[in-house]
Amino acid sequence: MHTRSLEQAGALEQAASAFVELRPRLFGIAYRMLGSVMEAEDILQEVWLRWQNTDRSTIQNPSAFLALITTRLAINVAQSARARREAYIGPWLPEPVDTSNDPTLGAERGEALELAFLLLLERLTPTERAAYVLREAFVYPYPQIAEILQVSAVYARQLVSRARRHLTAARHEPIDKIEHRRLLKVFLDAARTGNVAALEDLFAADVVSSSDGGGIAGAARFPLLGSARVAKFLAAYAPRFWPGTALTGVEANGRAAVLVPRNRTDVALLTIDASPQGIHHVMWIVNPAKLDAFAKRALRPI
């Protein structure tokens, strides 16, 4: 009896070790699928429970098995997420993640990680999103994607190709991290001084400013559209918002961002999406529930 208990304990320890080793990859899959740290963590809890209760002696490839379970659970959650997004108070933006120590968030490539790109992924069906993420971020072979999605290898290729076409048509030409950081700093200088002309020069014609507050006081319920309108709003806001604020430079989703104090306990995370044509999206995340990973960061100048 004692020997059997030791064997069971040893088997569970091995299962835990395999799960911990693969956890960054599994989280990376679930997060890219959902744009939510909380939902991704919930999925990983369910994956762990299923892994514990699985006859692991029949599993030849734990990595493939756990990726399969994670992706299928994420697809299920994504299918019901649209209704939650529609009921969300004000604009919805993905929950940011700190990538300063893990630039690719568990993946072979940092694809499908930037906040603006996660928003584009919302336009795909959950199955298209899964196929794209598995292929472009994690470089899974098509036969394995087909197994995970329970489709043929030919259809898996079609899903990835279709997703690429949709995303390419909607995505602005990207800029590199150095240019993004420079542009963010120039934007902050213009915003803090209320320089309307400088802001308009930075903005693309289709610029949008979105504040994700989830209904908290002080967060805009509707996005602002157009370079002139966004610039004038930021300039009008500057005298009562920026004076005395100490900004904290952080990396969120592989790109530069800043934390802006809102009061003694809360912060907002501010970042931009830009192309060679200028800034297309100013993103303010002020919902405290989405900023746990950043709220206690020590201040450092950008």
Tell me the three state secondary structure of residue 250.
strand
β-partners of residue 249 are 258
Paired strand residues for 256: 251
| 224-225/248-252 β-pairing | unpaired
Q: What is the pLDDT of residues 124-169, one digit of tens each?
A: 999 999 999 999 999 999 999 999 999 999 999 999 999 999 999 9
Q: Return d(Cα 194, Cα 191) in angstroms, integer.
A: 5
Whether the model clears a pTM of 0.95, i.e. scores above it, the answer is no
267-275 and 278-285 as β-strands: parallel, antiparallel, unpaired?
A: antiparallel
Reported as a single tens digit per residue, the pLDDT across 39-50 is 999 999 999 999
Residues of the chain with pLDDT under 70: 1-11, 217, 296-302
Confidence (pLDDT) at 246: 87
Provide the greatest CA pair distance for the chain.
79
Q: What angle do CA 289, 118, 153 make, to 5 degrees?
A: 130
